[in-house]
Structure 1
Amino acid sequence: MDSRQSCFEGVWYNPSEQAIWNSPRLKVYVAPVNIDYIKAGFPKEAPALAAQFRAELQKDIRNVLENKSKQTGGRMKWQLVDRPVPGAVALNLAIVRLKPTDVGGNIMSDLVSLVSPLPGTSLILGRFMSGDVGIEGRLSNTNTGAAIMEFKAYNTDPITLFSVKELERFAFDQRNLRLFSSCIADIFKAGPASNIPQTGEFDLNPF
């Protein structure tokens, strides 16, 4: 898989919608992030994480689109818009899974590792205390409503010893969402890579 899509667990491109990547003029809309799957468990944190994720996406995608225009001498002028308009592509995303890091558990696993004679104790315990975050997304044609691409990505906390981020419940989730944002934005640099195997369309939970 191309490095631009390497952070995704699954990617599907609609073969009949690939001409969009050669459009000289294109508008890109990033919709508010869906949090229906996580807001019940995190009523305060979910809206904040979703707003932060969308802001990161808008910033990253805007930078990619502006650089694309500069690199092509304005031949391909793609721009970010604040609402869906005819002839645009709409990016819809959802955070479908969220588990914060168990701060107290991580601290205890580190302390246990200091007195345990078994090597790797902290790493084993830390795995159970780790958080994770999952997203699903769809890029669609606003004229027809047809899906251009679909993707899903899931990430678990990296296993570390005595990380400062272990003291922040959502620090790793925020880091992973920033990683997802960068990967999604990179797709707009050149569209899908030719070496990505075409897969069947998969069902996305929130769409």
Structure 2
Amino acid sequence: MCGRYADFLADQDVADAFSLALDAGDARLLPPSFNVAPTQLVRIIRAAQDAATLDVARWGLVPSWAKDPAIGSRMINARVETVAEKPSFRTAFAKRRCIVPASGYYEWQTDASGKRPFYIHPADGAPLAFAGLVEAWRASGDDEWLITCAIVTTAARGQMRTIHDRQPVMMRDDAWRTWLDPASAKEDLLDAALADAPDLAWHEVDKAVGNVRNNSPDLVEPTRS
């Protein structure tokens, strides 16, 4: 799964990586975060008529048919193996996909000593592109829309399996363009989600990352032996 990540990417780095147009007067949608947690607001990239746009959503997808938005806290991830069929995610998969930009993410390895957190990030320092889903929900026609998202996950690959059995779907350039394209067929979307991920690097970090109240640059630094 993916239950915690970091997004401290600069505006221009996001714009360059995902072909976004940023005006000189644009303000950052959200401040940098070294400990993004479920139910928090996150940045997402969605397809628009002329170009991709940068928006904000709450992490934890609430299907349009849900009676209680609290269900979102249990829907932070969608498994790629079932995303096209599972009722909670299939409509968003078919019609409302997004990219969740990230600097890296955290995963916990369980061994005899307990759970050890690792920070996993692109080896070249480039932004990560998590495959995501978006939904809009409101209690009634008079209420404001609640925009929520989920991150798609897949089976861990290669050495990542030594840390955890799942990992986010992390997309290269051609794959995330296919993912955002409203005209992409189901088969193309699944191929994009299963394509090769960027080269990754990782290191153990302090257990302080497990507390959502902690949010500082030292969270991504290697532990000192």
Rg comparison, structure with higher value: 1
Greater share of strand? 2
Greater share of helix? 1
Q: Highest relative contact order (Cα 8 Å, sep 6+), 1 or 2?
A: 1
Q: TM-score range by the shorter chain?
A: under 0.3
